[in-house]
Chain A
C-alpha cells in the first residue's frame, strides 16, 4: 500500500527552535531516509521551497491570473512529503512517528493512502 506522509510546517514554530534542534531535525530526516531505503519502503521524498515563492494560478475568462493567495493566509504550509510503500496503514503511522517533525509541538505529519498514481515507476 502506498501512502503520502506530508509534513506541515509552521514557520513561527521552526523559527523558535534552537540551532541544535534544527540540526537534529535535519539529521533525523537523513537517518529516516536511510532506514526507508534499507527497508525498501521509500518511493520518493521531496521538500518544497518556502510558500513565499509559490504562486496560485487561476484561469478566468480564458485568461490565466497569477496571485499569491489564497493559501498564504494559513499559518501552516506543506513543506514536503514522503511517498512510501509499506505493509498497511499501521506501518505508515509507525513510519510517520519516526519523522523528527512529529515530535515538535506545532508541526504536523499527515498520513494518507494513495488512491491513484501514474508516472515513472520503472526508473
Chain B
C-alpha cells in the first residue's frame, strides 16, 4: 500500500507531468501510457527509497524515457529507421502548470460524458483504471476499454495541446465544470446501489475544482462551483444515519455540519456573487449558502431561496429547478401553493414518473393532511427510485402516514 503522502503527491504531479510530456512530444495517448508507467514506478520505488528531491523532474525523466522506448520499439516494429522525431533527449520542460489545458483536452466535446469523466479522473486526477472502475462499479476491463476509446477519439479529433480561445474557451470551460460536477455528484449521491456516498470521488472532484479555481480565480462560475461543492460536502456526515438511512435536510443535525468547509464555501459563494453576470453554479452556491447560514429549517430565509430559484429557472430552465422552487414556495406560501406549482410539471415528459416529483408531492400532500394521497405518492416514489437508501426512507415515510392507522385528521397534535 502506498503511503498517503506519496499518493497525494502523485495525484498532484500526474497532470503536470502528463501536460509537460504532451507539450513536448505531442500524442496524448502514448504520453498518457508513459506517464502511467512512471507513476507506477514511483509508487513502487518512493515508499522504500524515499521521495526524490525533485519528484516532478524525476517523473518527467522516467516518463520521457518510457515514451522514447515506446517510440523506438514502435519504429523498429514498423522498420521506419528514419523516423527520428521521438529521438529527443528529455530536456528541460516548462514549469508552467498545464493542468487546465489537460482538463480541456480530457473534456473534449467529441467524447461522451461518461468518457470525459473517466479520462479526467485518470489523466488529471491520477487515479488508476482499477480505482475508477471501482468508483463507478464496473469491471476494470469495461473501464479500460472506455478510457482507451476516449484516448483514440482525442487522437482522431486531431486535438492540439493548447487552450482554445474566445467563445470556444468559454464553451469548453462549461463542459469541464459540468464533468467536475458530475464526478462530485456521483460521489455525493450515487445514482443507484446500496451505498449513498462515495466520498473519495466527491473529494477528488473538489480537489480538481480547486486546481481550476487556482488558475481562474476571477471566473465567477468556477468559484461558484467550488463553493457549491464545499457547502454540499460539508453536510455529508449528517445525510445518513449510522445504519445508512437517509436523513432529509430539515432533520439533519446542523451542529455536525463541517464548519470549516461551510466557512470556506460561504466566503467563496459571496466572492462569486460579486461578478457582473450570474451563472447556474453561482446561483446554486447562493442557495446552498442560504441553507448553510440558517441554524434551523425554520430560520432559513425561504423567500431568498425562492427568489434565487426563480432567477435560476429563468437563466437555466429545467424541470428539476422548478421542482426545487416548489419546495421553497411551499415554505413561504404554504403546501398548496407548492402543489399548484408541481402540477405545472405533470405534462413534462422528463419528469413523468420521476421519483423526486412523486416524493416532493408526497411531502406536500402530507403537510396538507391528505394522508391517503401522501401514502400513495411515497409508495410510488419508493418504487421509482434506483437508490436503496432513498427507497428505505420513502417506504418509512409511507408507513408513517398509512391512512388505516390514522386516528384523527390532526395526527401531530
Report which A residues bind B (CB closer than 8 A): 1-2, 37-44, 85-87, 113-117, 120-123
**Contact in complex: B145, A37 (CB < 8 Å):** yes
Contact between chains at A117 and B388 (CB < 8 Å): no
Using CB atoms, name the residue of chain A closest to B194: A116
Interface flags, B179-200, vs A, CB<8A=1, else 0: 0000000000001111000000
A117 touches B193 (CB 8 A): yes
Given contacts A40-B147, A116-B193, contact A123 B140 (CB under 8 A): yes
Contacts of A123 in B (CB 8 A): 139-141
- Determine how close the nearest CB of chain A comes to the CB of B302; give it in whole angstroms: 32
Which residues of chain A come closer than 8 Å to B192, judged between CB atoms? 1-2, 113-116
Identity of the chain A residue whose Cβ is nearest the Cβ of B144 in the assembled complex:
A40
A-B contact pairs, 26 of them (CB 8 A): A2-B137, A2-B192, A37-B145, A38-B145, A38-B149, A39-B145, A40-B144, A40-B145, A40-B146, A40-B147, A40-B149, A42-B145, A43-B138, A43-B139, A43-B142, A87-B113, A113-B192, A114-B192, A115-B387, A115-B388, A116-B193, A116-B194, A117-B193, A121-B137, A122-B130, A123-B140
Q: Which residues of B contact A40 (CB under 8 A)?
A: 114-115, 118, 142-149
Q: What is the CA–CA distance of A43 and B141 in the complex, to the nearest angstrom?
A: 8
Q: Does B256 contact A (CB under 8 A)?
A: no
The CA-CA distance from A85 to B114 in the complex, in Å, is 10
A residues in contact with B139, CB < 8 Å? 43-44, 120-123
Give the chain A neighbours of B149 by CB distance below 8 A. 38-40
Contact partners of B194 in chain A: CB under 8 A: 116
Nearest chain B residue, comparing its CB with the CB of A42: B142
Query: Which of A1, A38, A42, A117 contacts B191 (CB under 8 A)?
Result: A1
Check B134 for interface membership: any CB of A closer than 8 A: yes
A117 touches B140 (CB 8 A): no
Name the residue of chain B whose CB is nearest to the CB of A119: B139
CB distance from B255 to the nearest CB of A (A): 33
Given A2-B137, A2-B138, A115-B386, 9 further pairs, Cβ under 8 A: A1-B192, A38-B145, A40-B118, A40-B147, A40-B148, A87-B112, A114-B386, A120-B139, A121-B139
**Contact, CB under 8 Å: B146 / A121:** no
Residues facing A in B122-176 (CB within 8 A) are 130, 133-134, 136-149
User: Which has the most chain B C-beta neighbours within 10 Å: A38, A85, A87?
Assistant: A85
CA–CA, A40 to B114, complex, Å? 10
Chain A hits for B147, CB < 8 A:
40
Interface centre among B140, B147, B193, B387 (most CB of A within 10 A): B193
Quick check: B137 and A117 within 8 Å, CB to CB? yes
- A121 and B133 CA atoms in complex are apart in Å by 8
B138, B140, B194: most-surrounded residue (chain A CB, <10 A): B138
Complex: chain B residue closest to A120, CB-CB:
B139
Contact with A along B371-403 (1 / 0, CB 8 A): 000000000000000111000000000000000
Instruction: Write out the residue numbers on chain B whose beta carbons fall within 8 Å of the beta carbon of A38.
Output: 145, 149
Query: B292 to chain A: closest CB distance in Å?
Result: 30
Residues of B within 8 A of A85 (CB): 114, 136-138, 142
Which chain A residues lie closer than 8 Å to B134 at the CB level? 121-122
